[in-house]
Amino acid sequence: MATEDKNRATATAILPLVGGAANVSSIAHCMTRLRLGLHDRSLVDDEALKAVPAVMGVVEDDTYQIVLGPGTVARVTPEFEQLVEEGRAAAPEPGEAAPSVSAEELAAQGAAMKAARKAKNATPFKLFLRRVANIFVPLIPALIGCGIIAGLNGLLVNLGWLTSVTPALAAMASGFMALIAVFVGYNTAKEFGGTPILGGAVAAIIVFPGVANIEAFGQKLSPGQGGVLGALGAAVLAVYVEKWCRRWVPEALDVLVTPTLTVLVSGLVTIFGLMYVAGEISTAIGTFADWLLSNGGAGAGFVLGGLFLPLVMLGLHQALIPIHTTLIEQQGYTVLLPILAMAGAGQVGAAAAVYFRLPRNESIRRTIKSALPAGLLGVGEPLIYGVSLPLGRPFITACVGGAFGGGFIGLFNQLGDKVGSTAIGPSGWALFPLLDGNHGLGTTAAIYAGGLLVGYFAGFLATYFFGFSKDLLTEFNVSQEPAESTVAATGGPTTPDAPAKEPAGV
């Protein structure tokens, strides 16, 4: 089957299982997931969705998220959007075919379900982190592409090859990072309900070369000072100034006064306040990251690698995105990502141990065999959903594997061999093209590969010897009929009151 036909078929299979086109209120995607806003959650057939060949799992959060994996999701989403548009044009809206239920009642029912679904995750802090993630996640494809080009350019420069081409590659790799503050400002204003281009305009002040002629707090400013954090703060301020103007400026003058005051007020505060403050914060982040790994070494890596997946489950990992971006902007790479990527290595090792510990459970062994290649490439959802998290104890031992892998890389950081990534998003083997450090690509890749091997073996050994109680082995080390595969893969039937489980994302 052609790739286009395969993606179309996947979208066609998914649409009726989420209630049809009329039930879809919004469509978006991140690195691995198709994120849908739904009018009525009760119309979704979770088990049938999980059975679609291309679907790796589902997550229920503020949106309904269908895990398709990197690459696939970017191709299926346009097909899905087209099907939804066609379906809306041909079908009535929900509730039109059911005269016994009024539109108001249907809307109230859907709103109540949506509110109940969000309540447990709608704390102000988590909502803020989600907004921060929405600002930075759209930038990841450019970070990855430019990061890989930067790595290729560095390799060519070191080898002395294609000397006439390497300057062009350097321009391609550096152009986006030079203007990343503008994109952050644009996305921030969009996310907080302002005019995106005004957010971008205010953030552009930060990277304008002419700021070098301005003094603030007794010091000359530097172009780019404050970086993405300054851009984020400037754009948020611009949104509030714009909203104030919309409320008080007469409509006849709005088109002239509002954008002018927004840029003027926000720009002055940015130049004479935010750039300096955000610059100090950015410098402190870089200094602390270097200090942590230089002094904490293996201990710091052990803690970071072991706690990353629990942070993901709590939604707190989103706070790391601007930190990664700040480090990349400052140093050219983030030293934290390779350590955190070891959590995925622990999952791979734990899954391999489960495979050998449950020789009679064909269902779980099939899940592991199909999900292991994706796990090696850093896509952890299938292994977490189908194997370690439902079983309970293997999830903990997988985190132990991640801790040892993180400790290994942290130790080398302490010894002076930094291992970093020029972009965020990929993990596992997929991170190799993005690696960078202070002692050459060969040394950096060797240390990262060593960390992966340590994570694999530690996760395997911890799970094999400590991941199963006698009761757990008795329950799961049995032959499963195909009809029982769902129960075997999830550790029991899903109930409406079961807590939502969120895998590692994007």
Instruction: Give me 139's structure tokens.
Output: 């930038």
Tell which phi-psi region holds residue 234, choosing left (phi > 0), alpha (psi between -120 and 50) or beta: alpha
CB 302 within 8 A of CB 404: yes
Q: CA 309 to CA 399: how far, in whole Å?
A: 7
Residue type, 470: K
CB 321 within 8 A of CB 424: yes
| b/e code 266-284 from CB counts within 10 Å (16+ = b) | bbebbbebbbbebbebbee
Q: CA 409 to CA 406: how far, in whole Å?
A: 5
Residues 6+ apart with CB under 8 A from 290: 335
Cα–chain center distance at 25: 22
237 φ, ψ (degrees, to nearest 5):
-60, -40
Active site residues: 30
Torsion of CA 221, 226, 228, 234, to 10 degrees: -80
Q: Per-residue DSSP letters for 65-93?
A: EEE--TTHHHHHHHHHHHHHHHHHHHSPP
Residue type, 217: F
Quote the radius of gyration of the chain (alpha carbons, Å): 25
Q: CA 354 to CA 396: how far, in whole Å?
A: 13
| b/e code 344-379 from CB counts within 10 Å (16+ = b) | bbbbbbbbbbbbebbeebbbbbbbbeebbebbbbbb
